[in-house]
């Protein structure tokens, strides 16, 4: 720290006060830590001067955490204490020992015990450092409880506490360690059986409200050894009640700032908190709504260029002052369409052209502006003089020449039209010929019988009908026949044929041909030797699909779906994404299939189409099911369920012990609340996976199955995330087996943070 004076500054997370920093001298340092779930893709951190010295910061560090840890009912968590209980070195522990770079202070108050090995075996999602978990404290007397307290009498603070336990001694056959946790004299949790070098974390699920809280670890009657504890974390709750500005307004004003290179101290949230409103802005504050920008004053700000189109996105703007700048170009029509705009000042600029009628009184001081179209005509009359004195003889010469040219052009046009008709006919025939070559082969029913050897080999049966194995010119094919009793019927048959004739992608099944003859409707596909994904996840195959193999299948299926959404114009929504519709070829390449329910958006700019509900229970988007609005995010929901199946190999809808039906996403959510990610994974994988890739895929899947479509990622984002997960797993398998500690390593987020006021410190 570079100052030997008192400095008092307020740190604001987003729009809310986070902490007060007070530095007494240049020797002592100060740090504060918050665990905050961001509602947006960015975080504003502002240092505010409180008239005690210029605010400054030495370092700002961000670390990503698992979504399943450090959950609160409301608010964010500010660190009070994080203690390595029982340290043998009295040294602070942080990165690289802690993969999240949490700082663990040492604290001993009871009998110290430590492990005889540093080879830690198993972590949970909180991942406290192994060096912290291989030491502990226990009560001196085996019959005495181990007690500690948090909080202060009379305090209004709310607390969350997280206790980490692990057995660090190899117990003999006649030894046992078992204890209960008491809170203020009442049993709160237990019994706890700490496992050898395996982290177990217990925590307060709701905040402890105000005052002092006494915890006690009491040995049960069956135990021979006293209780122990390895580490503890204590946080206070910070309620962030001040809302952030409307996102569209924020995006608009940030784009305006960038376009005009505005050098004002415009940082943080534009409208919040009201005491630190951006210069030149006024905002509306309604208890029921987010703060909105209603006034923008950029007068005499050195603006150049045209009036920026992002101003039109400030939809509640009531006052706009752009006077006394060097703006050029025309007055855009969008200004007249701002329904709330009451005051507009564009004077003192260099604007040209005509003015939209409603704005004629707001553009004084721009000499080149015209209030109507007629002024352009007047200007033209001033600039150009049309000669009127032409001799009669010359006029006749000109008229005669024009008539001669006209006769010749008539003859030429007649010949061109005759030739054009011939060319159009030839072009039409050529186009039809080219189009017919693009179409897949249409087979007769007699040919289908030959291809399938009289329908001798059945591959499977579904809602559409029976699928048969066949050969076409020595190439294996799958032949799907429409059953007369099919609930999908002729409409879906036509839809699938039309769609597959126009889409081509390596991760979509290829249509070899079709047959439509009388009541016989048949689709002929490329043969997928390894069946569908559901078959490989259900345990029917003796060979278990590895974690890397599962990630590869997920990525390839996602790529096929992403092509339908973004590679096709207009976009296509599949409407029936599920594991039985993801097929695997001889090389286990995944391809999306069954497009009978797919819908093509009539207009690629449409956000949704209204349609009857269709799909498979369990995979069906709940928002679509309620509103009948089909969007690309409906496929994202279904794909999220597929990801959960890939992770767990569990059924999408299962019955619990009470015979109630539970959706797979609800089961995974309940397991994540317990913080044990490994319990979610398919047990047949036997832990052979990178834990971080498992976490990332699980979080991605849970984001995909969000109840609200706006909270789901799009398929482009899904593809990018899966590529990263696959790369992580492939790197692990290339390196060979690793220790549990290294298997839990993560890459820390690299940040490049700076302000626009001063240069970077380094």
Mean pLDDT value of segment 468-481: 88
What count of other Cβ atoms lies within 10 Å of the Cβ of residue 205?
A: 10
Note the pLDDT of residue 8. Answer: 44
What is the percentage of the chain residues whose pLDDT exceeds 90? 29
Q: Which fold has domain 544-762?
A: Transferase(Phosphotransferase); domain 1 (1.10.510)
Do the Cβ atoms of 651 and 608 come closer than 8 Å?
no
121 vs 526 pLDDT, higher one? 526
The residues spanned by each domain of the chain are 63-238, 247-383, 392-438, 441-527, 544-762
pLDDT in tens, 59-73: 888 888 877 788 888
H/E stretch holding 638: helix 632-648
Strand order in the sheet with 7-13: 16-23, 7-13, 45-49
Do the Cβ atoms of 725 and 696 come closer than 8 Å?
yes
pLDDT in tens, 491-502: 667 777 777 767
pLDDT-derived band at 540, boundaries 50, 70, 90: low
The verdict on whether residue 187 carries a ligand-binding annotation is no
- 441-527 shares the fold of 63-238: no
Q: Which two tokens stand for residue 92?
A: 């602070």
pLDDT in tens, 24-83: 776 777 788 888 887 666 677 777 777 667 788 888 888 888 777 888 888 889 999 999
Looking at 2.60.120.430, 3.40.50.300, 3.40.50.2000, 3.10.20.30, the CATH number of the domain 63-238 comes to: 2.60.120.430
Least confident of 144-153, 255-264, 418-427: 418-427
CATH top-level class of 441-527:
alpha beta
520 vs 299 pLDDT, higher one? 299
Highest mean pLDDT among 38-52, 97-111, 704-718: 704-718
Note the pLDDT of residue 756. Answer: 31
CA-to-CA dists, residue 559 to 75, 505, 574, 720, 732, angstroms: 38, 9, 13, 10, 23
Secondary-structure breakdown of the chain: helix, strand, coil percentages, each rounded to the nearest 5: 30, 25, 45
Number of H helices, E strands in the chain: 14, 39
CA-to-CA dists, residue 267 to 49, 258, 322, angstroms: 14, 12, 21
Note the pLDDT of residue 307. Answer: 92
Residues 593, 596, 602, 608, CA torsion sign = negative
Cα 33 to Cα 43: distance, rounded to the nearest angstrom: 14
CA-to-CA dists, residue 87 to 84, 97, 133, 229, 235, angstroms: 6, 14, 9, 12, 21
**Does position 174 have pLDDT exceeding 50, yes or no?**
yes
Cα 56 to Cα 54: distance, rounded to the nearest angstrom: 6
Do the Cβ atoms of 383 and 361 come closer than 8 Å?
no
Note the pLDDT of residue 219. Answer: 93
For the chain, the C-alpha Rg in angstroms (whole number) is 36
Mean pLDDT value of segment 644-660: 85
247-383 domain in CATH 1.10.3720.10? no
Residues 301, 306, 312, 318, CA torsion sign = positive
Residues 547, 551, 554, 560, CA torsion sign = negative
Residues 742, 746, 747, 751, CA torsion sign = negative
Do the Cβ atoms of 571 and 601 come closer than 8 Å?
yes
Cα 758 to Cα 367: distance, rounded to the nearest angstrom: 40
Mean pLDDT value of segment 472-477: 86
CA-to-CA dists, residue 639 to 33, 606, 628, angstroms: 37, 22, 19
Least confident of 209-223, 259-273, 638-652, 742-756: 742-756
193 vs 411 pLDDT, higher one? 193
Cα 328 to Cα 349: distance, rounded to the nearest angstrom: 7
Q: Which two tokens stand for residue 445?
A: 């029913």
pLDDT-derived band at 583, boundaries 50, 70, 90: very high
Mean pLDDT value of segment 181-186: 93
**Does position 87 have pLDDT exceeding 50, yes or no?**
yes
In 346-484, DSSP assigns E strands to 353-354, 369-370, 441-442, 458-461, 466-472, 475-481
Least confident of 158-172, 436-450, 533-547, 707-721: 436-450
Note the pLDDT of residue 228. Answer: 94
Residue among 709, 710, 689, 711 nearest 699 (CA): 711
H/E stretch holding 718: helix 715-735
Q: Which two tokens stand for residue 725?
A: 């997960």
Catalytic residue IDs: 576
CA-to-CA dists, residue 598 to 109, 499, 604, angstroms: 66, 8, 15
Residue among 35, 365, 63 nearest 233 (CA): 35
Mean pLDDT, the chain, rounded, equals: 79
Mean pLDDT value of segment 702-709: 92
């Amino acid at each position: 720290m570079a100052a030997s004076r008192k400095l008092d500054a307020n740190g604001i997370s987003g729009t809310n006060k986070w902490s007060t920093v007070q530095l007494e001298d240049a020797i002592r340092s100060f740090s504060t830590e918050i665990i905050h779930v961001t509602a947006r893709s960015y975080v504003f951190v502002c240092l505010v001067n409180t008239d005690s010295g210029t605010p400054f910061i030495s370092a700002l560090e961000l670390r990503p955490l698992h979504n399943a840890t450090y959950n609160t009912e409301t608010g964010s968590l500010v660190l009070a204490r994080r203690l390595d209980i029982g340290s043998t070195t009295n040294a602070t522990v942080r990165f690289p020992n802690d993969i999240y770079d949490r700082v663990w202070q040492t604290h001993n108050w009871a009998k110290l015990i430590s492990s005889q090995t540093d080879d830690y075996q198993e972590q949970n999602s909180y991942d406290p450092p192994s060096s912290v978990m291989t030491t502990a404290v226990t009560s001196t007397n085996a019959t005495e409880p181990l007690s500690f307290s948090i909080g202060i009498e009379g305090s209004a603070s709310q607390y969350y506490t997280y206790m980490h336990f692990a057995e660090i001694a190899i117990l003999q056959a006649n030894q046992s360690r078992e204890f209960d946790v008491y809170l203020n004299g009442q049993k709160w949790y237990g019994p706890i059986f700490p496992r050898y070098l395996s982290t177990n974390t217990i925590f307060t699920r709701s905040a402890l409200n105000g005052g002092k809280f006494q915890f006690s670890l009491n040995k049960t009657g069956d135990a021979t050894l006293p209780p122990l504890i390895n580490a503890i974390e204590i946080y206070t709750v910070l309620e962030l009640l001040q809302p952030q500005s409307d996102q569209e307004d924020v995006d608009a004003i940030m784009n305006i700032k960038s376009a005009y290179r505005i050098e004002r101290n415009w940082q943080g949230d534009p409208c919040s908190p009201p005491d630190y409103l951006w210069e030149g802005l006024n905002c509306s504050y309604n208890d029921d709504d987010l703060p909105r920008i209603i006034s923008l004053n950029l007068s005499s700000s050195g603006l150049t260029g045209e009036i920026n189109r992002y101003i039109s996105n400030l939809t509640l703007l009531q006052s706009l002052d752009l006077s006394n700048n060097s703006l050029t170009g025309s007055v855009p029509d969008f200004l007249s369409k701002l329904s709330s705009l009451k005051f507009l000042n564009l004077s003192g600029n260099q604007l040209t052209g005509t003015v939209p009628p409603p704005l004629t009184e707001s553009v004084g001081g721009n000499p080149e502006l015209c209030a109507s179209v007629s002024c352009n005509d007047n200007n033209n009359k001033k600039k150009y003089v049309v000669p009127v004195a032409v001799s009669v003889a010359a006029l006749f010469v000109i008229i005669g020449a024009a008539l001669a040219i006209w006769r010749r052009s008539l003859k030429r046009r007649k010949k061109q039209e005759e030739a054009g008709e011939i060319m159009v006919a030839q072009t039409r025939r050529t186009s039809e010929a080219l189009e017919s070559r693009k179409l897949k082969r249409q087979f007769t029913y007699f040919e289908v019988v030959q291809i399938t050897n009289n329908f001798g080999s059945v591959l499977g049966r579904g809602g559409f009908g029976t699928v048969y194995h066949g050969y076409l010119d020595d190439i294996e094919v799958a032949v799907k026949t429409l059953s007369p009793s099919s609930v999908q019927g002729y409409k879906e048959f036509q839809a699938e044929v039309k769609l597959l004739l126009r889409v081509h992608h390596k991760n979509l099944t290829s249509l070899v041909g079709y047959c439509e003859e009388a009541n016989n409707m048949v689709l002929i596909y490329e043969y997928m030797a390894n069946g569908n994904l559901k078959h490989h996840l259900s345990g029917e195959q003796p060979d278990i699909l590895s974690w890397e193999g599962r990630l590869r299948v997920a990525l390839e299926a996602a790529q096929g779906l992403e092509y339908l959404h973004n590679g096709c114009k207009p976009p296509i929504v599949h409407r029936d994404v599920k594991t039985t519709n993801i097929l695997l070829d001889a090389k286990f390449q995944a391809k999306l299939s069954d497009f009978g329910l797919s819908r093509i958006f009539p207009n690629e700019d449409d956000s949704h189409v209204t349609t009857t509900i269709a799909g498979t229970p369990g995979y069906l988007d709940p928002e679509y099911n309620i509103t009948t609005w089909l969007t690309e995010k409906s496929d994202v929901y279904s794909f999220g369920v597929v990801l959960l199946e890939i992770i767990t190999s569990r059924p999408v809808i299962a019955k619990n012990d009470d015979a109630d039906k539970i959706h797979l996403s609800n089961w995974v959510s309940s397991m994540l609340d317990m913080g044990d990610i490994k319990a979610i994974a398919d047990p047949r994988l036997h832990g052979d996976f990178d834990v971080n890739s498992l976490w990332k895929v699980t979080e991605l899947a849970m984001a995909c199955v969000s109840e609200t479509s706006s909270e789901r990622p799009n398929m482009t984002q899904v593809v990018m995330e899966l590529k990263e997960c696959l790369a992580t797993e492939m790197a692990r398998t290339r390196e060979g087996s690793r220790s549990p500690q290294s298997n839990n390593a993560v890459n820390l987020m690299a940040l490049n943070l700076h302000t626009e006021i001063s240069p970077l410190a380094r």
